[in-house]
Structure 1
Amino acid sequence: MTATDPALTALAQGWCALSLLHGRIESHIERALEAEHNLSAREYSLLDVLSRQHDGEGGHLQMKQVADAVVLSQSATTRLVTRLEDRGLLSRYLCPTDRRGIYTDVSEAGLQLLAEARPTNDTALREALDEAAKNPELAPLVRAVEELKAPAAAA
């Protein structure tokens, strides 16, 4: 393959479209969450991931797993956890079976804020996808995203 190879050019154009769609969605959600709940999209994502933990086998995530789930470095995730902990939305504790491990739980206040913010997030996502679908370059990606959610909704 060369730099002028049509397949490589199409791949690069596809990546640019995907990046554009992601940026538009994230910006729209960010503005809505900040305006309505004083919550960033990353904070919302972290609360959402942590709220899905459970007490069963493998139910609590280690910080590395949390970082992977919210697509941040471990140090950025730790700073984000600290900010939310300072706001009373999270708490940290040592793993009972491995004193080196630190787990994070969403507090009652965090769960309440998440519940209040979820409709805002969902509406903003829908609005961003609807707007992006009007762009012929992004419309196929929007359809792909919508098809991905269909099996999860059926389950």
Structure 2
Amino acid sequence: MTAMDPALTALAQSWCALSLLHSRIEAHIERALQAKHDLSVREYSLLDVLSRQHNGPGGHLQMKQVADAVVLSQSATTRLVTRLEDRALLSRYLCDTDRRGIYTDVTEDGLKLLSEARPTNDCALREALDEAARNPELAPLVKAVEELKMPAASIPTPAGVPT
């Protein structure tokens, strides 16, 4: 295959369209969450991921699992956790069985904010998809996303991250 191969060109164009759709959706949701809840998309995602932890075996996530789930480096995830901890939305504590392990839980204030922000996130997502569907290049991707309609319990997450 060469750089001028039509299959590669089509693949690159498809990737660009998918990247554009993602960027537009994320920017739209970011504006809505910031305006109404003083939350970034990453902060919302982190609260959402951590809110799904449980106290049973494997119920708490290691920082690497959290970083994978929110698609950030471990250092960026640690800084994000610190910012939310400073706002009293998260708390950290040592693991009972391994003093090197540190867990992070969503506080009551964090759960309340997440609950208030979820409808904003969902509405902004719907608005962004509706707007993108009017673009002929993005419409097939929007249709594909809408047809997935996966139940929350089956949403793929990085290995080891509970749903």
- The TM-score range, normalised by the shorter chain, is over 0.9
* TM-score w.r.t. length of structure 1: 0.96
Q: Secondary structure at the match of 1:151?
A: coil
CA distance in 1, matches of 2:147, 2:105: 32
Letter paired with 1:126: R
Alignment RMSD: 1.3
Q: Pick the structure with more helix per residue.
A: 1
Partner in structure 1 of residue 42 of structure 2: 42
User: 2:162 aligned with 1:151, yes or no?
Assistant: no
Deviation, 1:112, is 0.2
Letter paired with 2:82: T
Partner in structure 2 of residue 58 of structure 1: 58
Q: Count the aligned residue pairs.
A: 154
Partner in structure 1 of residue 159 of structure 2: none
**Change in 2 beyond 3 A, CA 1:154/1:130:** farther
- Aligned pairs for 1:5-154 within 5 A: 5-148=5-148, 150-152=149-151
CA distance in 2, matches of 1:32, 1:38: 9
CA distance in 1, matches of 2:88, 2:130: 35
Q: Secondary structure at the match of 1:99?
A: coil
The percentage of aligned residue pairs carrying the same residue is 85
Letter paired with 1:33: L
Deviation, 1:153, is 6.4
Deviations 1:45-95 (A, max 9, x none): 000000000011111100000000000000000000000000000000111
Query: Which contiguous aligned blocks of 4+ residues in structure 1 show a shift greater than 2 angstroms?
Result: none
Q: Which structure 2 segments of 5+ residues have no match? A: 155-163
Partner in structure 1 of residue 158 of structure 2: none
CA distance in 1, matches of 2:7, 2:73: 32
